[in-house]
Amino acid sequence: MSTRWGFFRSALALSPLLVGFPLLSNWKHYDLPKPIADVIDNVTNVPQVSEYAILEHARYLSEDVGYRTVGTREHALGDAWMVQQAYALQTLCEEAVSAEPGRKLECEVWHQVGSGSHRFDILGKRLYKTYVNLTNIVVRISDGTPAGKKHAALANSHLDSTLPSPGAADDAIAVGALIEAARTLIATRGWEPHHALILLFNNAEESLQDGSHLFATAHPIRNTVRAVINLEAAGTSGPSLLFQATSSAMVAAYAQVPRPFGTIVAHDVFSSGIIMSDTDFRQFELYLGVPGLDIAIVGHGYFYHTRKDRVQYIEAGVAQHMGETAYALLKFLASKESPLLELSGGHEKPQTVFFSFLGAFFIKYSFATAISLHAVLFAASIALISSTPTSVSASVAVLEKKGAENIRRKVPEVSAPSNIGISIFKGILLLSTACLAAVLSANMVALFMVHVLDRPLSWYKAELSCLLLYGPPAFTGALASLNFLGPLFFPTSTNNISNTERTLLQSVLLSYIVIASVVQLAGIGSAVLLTMTAGALLTGLLFDRARGGNRVSLGTYALGQTTPLFFGTELFSTLTDIFVPLSGRMGAEAPAENLVASLTVFSAAYSAPLLLPFFARFGSVILKRALLILTLVTAATITIFSQRDPFDVMHPKRVFVVYNENITTNAVSLGVGTSDIAPGFNTFVQDIAVFLANTSRVGNTGATLKVNTTPMRVEMHEYNGDWDVLYPFSAFLSPYEIALEPYVSAYALGGDPEKTFTVRAINDVVDAAAATRSLTLIIDHPGLIWTTIAFDAHVLSWSLDDDPPTKHARHFVKEASFYGEDKWSIDLVISLHDLPSSSPSSPENMKDPEELVRPHALRVNFVGVQEAAMWPGKAADKAKGGRAMALLEELDAWLEERSQGAVDAMLLGCVGGVIDV
C-alpha cells in the first residue's frame, strides 16, 4: 500500500471486525436451543428432552409446593412429590421392559433418611452442621446385573430452596432436567445402560450441603460412584456453564454434549474461591473422592436466592439446554465408551485446557501439549523478530547507493540483535506502564464514584455497561503512557514511526507468549487466553513479514485482533455475568466498585492488545486528540452514570430482615441488613423505624407496637446472638437494629412446654481430677428451624468430628432437620480450665441471673427461625406466624411500595436467647 491511510480511514476499515466479532461472540455466548414441547418427536417417534416437561416440574415445585426451605412443611411436600416421581420413573422402566421383553433395564428407588454432622468451613470460618432425619431420593438405572451396577455415574440436583426463595432455577429446573433426561433414556427403545446411572435428588443443599453429605457418607451404593455430574443454578438465563471439571476424562466426556458451554477460565475463577460460593460437588469430592463436572445456569444472577427465582423469569431455552446437556452426558457415561473405569484415581487438578467456541465446538488439549505449543510459539516469535528488518533508514540508504552493491539492495538490513533486544525491552516497559496506568485510572474513577459522588454500583442494572464507565478512563491511562513515554523511549531522531509501531507489535507478541508460558508452567490452564492472542499476533506479524514493505499493513491488525476480540468478549461477558450481580451480595463493605472496574480493565486490555501500536502508527497529533476526546468521554460517562439508580424490579436490592424475640430478656428487635455498598441504607432504615412507629396496630393481632425510633448500627462480631441464624454470612450485612416494645415470646420458658425453646445438659459429669466436664447438650426447638448454637469452650472431644480446635475457641453449630424434627444433641467433653468456677458475669437484663448461672457453666447462645414466620414463603399460612408474621407482612408491603418493587427482602421471624448450662 503506497498511499498511507489516515486514522479514520484505517479505523473505519477495521470497524467491521471491531464491531462484528464482539457481536458475533456475544450472540453465540447467550444463544440457546429452541425449546421443545413434545416429549416424543411427532415425525420420527423418537423420545426427546422437552423443556415444557422440565418447566412443568419446576413450576410444580416452586409454585404449587412453594418455598422448600429445609425443615418447613413445603420441604416435606417436595420430598413426597419426588418420591412419587421416582416411582413413576420405575414404573416407566417396568413398562418399557414388558413392552420389549429381554431389554436389560432396571430402575431401583431409595428414599434415604438419615442424621449426621459435618464440618463445613466457609468464608474463612469454621462451622459445624448437624442434621436430623433429612432425606434424599435416589434412582438407580442399570442393566440389572451386578456387573452393570459395579461402576456408576452419579447425577445430582437439589430439591430444597434457600431461605427467601422458591428456587425455580435453583434448583428445581435441574431436578426437572434429570427426571426428563432419565425419562428420555428409558423411553428410548433398545437403550440399555452398560454402566449404572445414579440420580440423586438431594433434599438439603441450601442448609450447607447436608443432603449430599448424607448420600456420600451413608448411602449403601455410594461406593459404586466413579464420577459425578452436579447441576446447579445461580441465575435464570443463558446456557448452563461448565465451571468445574476435575478430570481430563470427564472433560472429554463433556465434549459429547450438543451445545458445549464452558471454559477452563471459569473453572480457575471458581476454584480460586473469589465467588464465595460452593456446591454439593464439594461433598462428593471430600467424601467419595470422585471427579466430575459441575454445571450451572449463571446468566441474570440478580434473582439468585431471591423470591423472584420463579419459572416466569427463566429464559426460554435454558431448560432445554440443561436437559439436553444432562441427557447427552448420562447417555455417554452409561455407554460402553464411558470413561468410568479409567476414573479410579479420584479427582485431580485440571490437566486439560478446554474451552467452547461459538456454542458448537469444544476444544481440549493436555497441559503438556499447551507447554509444547508455547515453546513452538516462542521459538517462532524469536525467529520472526530477529529476522525482521527494523531500520528503514538503512534500507533507504541501501537504495541510495545505486548500482554500487546490487545484492544488498534486495536484502534489507537486519539490525544487531542487541538493538532489537533493547527496543523490545523498552516496548514491553511501555506496555506494562500502559496497563498499570489503565488499571490506576479506572480505579481512580471507581474511588471517585464511591467516595466523592457517593454513586457506587451505577452499572449494576446492566452487566456490560461497566465497560462504558471504566473503558474510557482505562484507554485514557494507556494512551497517556504512550503519549509521554513513547517519544522518550523511541525518539524520532533514531527511529521512525513505522519502526516504533513494529517494535510495539513485537513487544506485545513477546509479552503474551512469555506470560502465557509462565502461567501455564504454574499449572494454570487459563493461560489459553494468552496463547490465543499470541497465536493471532504471530499470524499477523508473519503476514507482515511475508508482505514486506516499510509500513505495517492493516491486515496485521485485522489478523492480530481476531482471537482477542472474540475471546475478550467472551471473557468480559462471563466475568460480568458472574461479578456484576455478585456485587449486590458481596457485603456492604466489599470493594465491589473497584473489583468491577478492575475486571473491566482486564477484559478491555485483553480484547485490545494492539491499541498502542495502532496509535503509535499515526503519530502524536492523533494521539493527543484521542486523549482529549477520551478524557471528555470519561467526564461525560461519569456524569451520566452518576444519575443512574443501581436497582429496579428486574435487578432488586437485597435486604435482610430479622425480627427477633429474645426469650432470655423478652427484648424484641428488628434487625435490618444489606449486602451491597449502595448509599442511603441509613435513611432506608430510619424510614423503616418511622413506619413502624406510625403503625399502631400490628396486622390484625391487635397488639400495639412502640419503637425506639433511632436504629442502632450493630457492630458485627461473633457475639451478636440475634444474627447467628445467618452466621457467617451475617458478617457481610452491616446491620442496624431497631428496638421494639418487649413482650414474652410464645417460645419462652414458662409458657406452653410443647413450644418451649431450650438448651439443656444431660449425662452431665464433672471430673475434677481430670478437670473435664462431659455432657450431652440437648436442643429442643419445637416450631423452630435452622437453629444455631454458639459457645466458648476448650472442647477436648465431641460427637461432631474427631478434630475439635485444640484450644479455647468460639464454636458455632448449625442444625437443619426434616419437618417436625424438633430435637438435636451433641456430646461434649470440655476442659474446665477456662470455664468459670463461680458465676460468670451474666448478660445485662437477664431475667433471673441466679437461676441461669452456675459453676462450670457453659454459656450457650441459641437462635432459630420460626417455621411459620417466614415472609413471603409462608404467606399462604400466615395466621400461624403470629405477631412476627403480621409485622413482616406489613413491612414487606411497605417496602414494596416505597421501592416500587426494587427491593427483594428476606424476612424472618426468629427466636433466641442465651443460657448457662
Ligand X SMILES: *[C@@H]1O[C@H](CO)[C@@H](O)[C@H](O)[C@H]1NC(C)=O
Decide whether 156 or 574 has the Cβ nearer to Zn ion: 156
Continuous H helices in 642-717: 681-694
Smallest separation, CB 207 to Zn ion (Å)? 11
Q: Do 457 and 676 form a contact (C-beta atoms < 8 A)? A: yes
Please state, in angstroms and rounded to a whole number, the distance separating the CA atoms of residues 305 and 170: 8
Smallest separation, CB 557 to ligand X (Å)? 46
Decide whether 357 or 691 has the Cβ nearer to ligand X: 691
171 binds, among Zn ion, ligand X, none (CB under 5 to 8 A by kind): Zn ion
- Nearest residue to 64 (alpha-carbon basis) of 168, 171, 207, 162: 168
Binding piece for Zn ion, criterion CB under 5 A, among 37-45, 59-67, 89-97, 229-237 = 229-237
Maximum alpha-carbon separation in the chain:
114
Q: Does 691 bind ligand X (CB under 6 A)?
A: yes
Beta bridge partners of 791: 811, 860
Q: Does 581 bind ligand X (CB under 6 A)?
A: no
Place of cell 432437620: 817
Smallest separation, CB 723 to ligand X (Å)? 8
Active-site annotation holder among 74, 106, 180, 205:
205
Q: Do 460 and 584 form a contact (C-beta atoms < 8 A)? A: yes
Q: Does 170 bind Zn ion (CB under 5 A)?
A: yes
Helix (H) / strand (E) element for 674: namely strand 668-674
Q: Does 80 bind ligand X (CB under 6 A)?
A: no
Binding characters for ligand X, 838-867, by CB under 6 A (x = yes): -----xxx---------------x-x----
Axis-axis angle for helices 562-582, 528-547 (nearest 10): 160
Please state, in angstroms and rounded to a whole number, the distance separating the CA atoms of residues 782 and 759: 12
Decide whether 132 or 541 has the Cβ nearer to ligand X: 132
Decide whether 171 or 577 has the Cβ nearer to Zn ion: 171
Decide whether 306 or 660 has the Cβ nearer to ligand X: 660
Out of 422, 518, 690, 770, point to the residue binding ligand X (CB under 6 A). 690
Q: Does 662 bind ligand X (CB under 6 A)?
A: yes
Smallest separation, CB 841 to ligand X (Å)? 12
Out of 157, 735, 913, 917, point to the residue binding ligand X (CB under 6 A). 913
Binding characters for Zn ion, 123-162, by CB under 5 A (x = yes): ----------------------------------------
Burial group, residue 176, by CB count within 10 angstroms (0-12, 13-18, 19+): buried
42 binds, among Zn ion, ligand X, none (CB under 5 to 8 A by kind): ligand X
Please state, in angstroms and rounded to a whole number, the distance separating the CA atoms of residues 459 and 465: 6
246 binds, among Zn ion, ligand X, none (CB under 5 to 8 A by kind): none
* Residue 892: all three cell numbers together: 414487606
Q: Does 210 bind Zn ion (CB under 5 A)?
A: no
End-to-end Cα separation, the chain, in angstroms: 89
Q: Does 570 bind Zn ion (CB under 5 A)?
A: no
Continuous H helices in 226-317: 248-254, 264-271, 281-283
Smallest separation, CB 339 to Zn ion (Å)? 27
Q: Does 115 bind ligand X (CB under 6 A)?
A: yes
Smallest separation, CB 34 to ligand X (Å)? 10
Torsion angles phi and psi, residue 117, rounded to 5 = -150, 155
Smallest separation, CB 28 to ligand X (Å)? 25
Q: Does 738 bind ligand X (CB under 6 A)?
A: no
Question: Which 129-148 residues touch ligand X, going by CB under 6 A?
Answer: 132-133
842 binds, among ligand X, Zn ion, none (CB under 5 to 8 A by kind): none
Place of cell 400490628: 698
Decide whether 66 or 843 has the Cβ nearer to ligand X: 843
Out of 79, 171, 309, 544, point to the residue binding Zn ion (CB under 5 A). 171
Torsion angles phi and psi, residue 907, rounded to 5 = -120, 120
Q: Residue 59: how many CA atoms within 13 Å on its side-chain side?
A: 11
Q: Does 914 bind ligand X (CB under 6 A)?
A: yes
Please state, in angstroms and rounded to a whole number, the distance separating the CA atoms of residues 106 and 126: 43
Binding characters for ligand X, 24-43, by CB under 6 A (x = yes): -------------xx---x-
Torsion angles phi and psi, residue 849, rounded to 5 = -55, -40
Decide whether 729 or 798 has the Cβ nearer to Zn ion: 729
Binding piece for Zn ion, criterion CB under 5 A, among 230-238, 712-720, 778-786, 865-873 = 230-238
**Alpha carbon 372 to chain centroid distance?**
33
- Nearest residue to 534 (alpha-carbon basis) of 383, 388, 365, 376: 376
Binding piece for Zn ion, criterion CB under 5 A, among 226-234, 256-264, 361-369, 539-547 = 226-234
Please state, in angstroms and rounded to a whole number, the distance separating the CA atoms of residues 577 and 587: 18
887 binds, among ligand X, Zn ion, none (CB under 5 to 8 A by kind): none
* Residue 256: all three cell numbers together: 459429547
* Residue 517: all three cell numbers together: 508460558
Cis bond before residue 121 (omega within 30° of 0):
no
Smallest separation, CB 205 to Zn ion (Å)? 5
Quote the DSSP letter at residue 842. Answer: P
- Nearest residue to 155 (alpha-carbon basis) of 235, 212, 104, 193: 212
Smallest separation, CB 91 to ligand X (Å)? 26
Decide whether 170 or 501 has the Cβ nearer to Zn ion: 170
- Nearest residue to 911 (alpha-carbon basis) of 864, 874, 869: 864
133 binds, among ligand X, Zn ion, none (CB under 5 to 8 A by kind): ligand X
Strand 152-158 and strand 196-202: the pairing is parallel
Q: Does 79 bind Zn ion (CB under 5 A)?
A: no
* Residue 908: all three cell numbers together: 424472618
* Residue 131: all three cell numbers together: 442434621
Q: Does 180 bind Zn ion (CB under 5 A)?
A: no
| Residue 537, amino acid | L
Q: Do 189 and 199 form a contact (C-beta atoms < 8 A)? A: no
Q: Does 721 bind ligand X (CB under 6 A)?
A: yes
Query: How many amino acids of this chain bind ligand X (CB under 6 A)?
Result: 23
721 binds, among Zn ion, ligand X, none (CB under 5 to 8 A by kind): ligand X
Q: Does 309 bind Zn ion (CB under 5 A)?
A: no
Smallest separation, CB 177 to ligand X (Å)? 20
For residue 205, indicate whether it is catalytic: yes
170 binds, among Zn ion, ligand X, none (CB under 5 to 8 A by kind): Zn ion
Continuous H helices in 228-356: 248-254, 264-271, 281-283, 318-334
Decide whether 46 or 650 has the Cβ nearer to ligand X: 46
Smallest separation, CB 166 to Zn ion (Å)? 12
Quote the DSSP letter at residue 316. Answer: T
Decide whether 38 or 834 has the Cβ nearer to ligand X: 38
C-alpha dist (Å) from residue 238 to 304, 329, 367: 14, 19, 29
Smallest separation, CB 136 to ligand X (Å)? 14
Q: Does 15 bind ligand X (CB under 6 A)?
A: no
Please state, in angstroms and rounded to a whole number, the distance separating the CA atoms of residues 132 and 816: 7
Out of 335, 366, 483, 665, point to the residue binding ligand X (CB under 6 A). 665
Please state, in angstroms and rounded to a whole number, the distance separating the CA atoms of residues 231 and 325: 10
Place of cell 474511588: 447
Decide whether 302 or 747 has the Cβ nearer to ligand X: 747
132 binds, among ligand X, Zn ion, none (CB under 5 to 8 A by kind): ligand X
Place of cell 418399557: 96
Binding piece for ligand X, criterion CB under 6 A, among 315-323, 342-350, 662-670, 775-783 = 662-670
Q: Do 807 and 828 form a contact (C-beta atoms < 8 A)? A: no
Q: What are the residues binding Zn ion (CB under 5 A)?
A: 170-171, 232
- Contacting positions for ligand X (CB under 6 A): 37-38, 42, 115, 132-133, 660, 662, 664-665, 690-691, 694, 721-722, 843-845, 861, 863, 912-914
Residues that are catalytic: 205
